[in-house]
Structure 1
Amino acid sequence: MSASPRSIRPIVFTSDAIAATPTEAFSADVDGGKVEWKTLISSGRTPSDTFTSGIATCAPKGGHLKAHRHTQPEMYYIIRGRGIVSIDDAEYEVQRGAVVFIPRDAEHGIRNMDEEKDLVWLYVFATDKFEDVVYRFSDNKPKARL
């Protein structure tokens, strides 16, 4: 459910505030890949609605987010690094400045192709809260609600 209009306010995250935001990852019982993220905007955590966003990182030498689906469409903006985004049966090379739109229920994943630098991207979901996103991994493992 969306927050009331009176509870919605502008939000600005400084670089210090982003650095202080706790890093999240999949629990030990979910093999979602080698990826970490910081959820920045999400109803229940911030006075916001409509969108959920944050910054995700795949480390060099094998960092990846496994192929998965969720009902919400998603967008990536590549902040740093280079990688491969897979969406359904296609692969796309991405690097700093690239924008990726992922339709709802499309199978997708991302992997870092650099041996030395992190792959960092802004993600945006079309949903009020991050907790509404249910990852359905393509390897038939259990669903992961975050």
Structure 2
Amino acid sequence: MNGVAERIQKLRETSGETENEVAEAVGLSIGEYGDLEGYDDEIIDAVSFGAASKVAGHFGQSLFQLLAPEAEASPEGYLGPEALANLVKGKIAEEGLSLEEAETKTGWYLEGFLANPGSYLAEQPIMFLIDLSGFLGIDWLSTMPRGRGSS
């Protein structure tokens, strides 16, 4: 993921917009947006999946394109929120885990995600998907939308 902050900055500069203009367009404070251009881990750890999607979409990119521009699409393709929730439910059942045990293994509360995957995911940082993918044993990039505006 090295260079994502620089990619965001270059996309903004190419668009001819100021940091303030982009921040306002995507619904972030200038400080939050400035951090996206300053630190590679901000898009993973600090902003929600929904906000990261808005940033990518603002520049005509999918999250997959923004986060891993040189990566090829993973063989299993895109796994959306519903598919991920079903995989988590299957893993919990297969391993005979309680919800609390699965939450301990992932490091995240899962009840809200399992009840309403799309809405819950939009509010979580991308790190949620990375940790969830580790729990499931899948490539986390398979959880990133391929097309602009996909979620």
Q: State if a TM-score over 0.5 links the two structures.
A: no
TM-score scaled to structure 2, two decimals? 0.24
TM-score scaled to structure 1, two decimals? 0.24
Greater fraction of residues in strand: 1
Larger radius of gyration: 2
Q: Which has the higher contact order (CA 8 A, sep 6+)?
A: 2
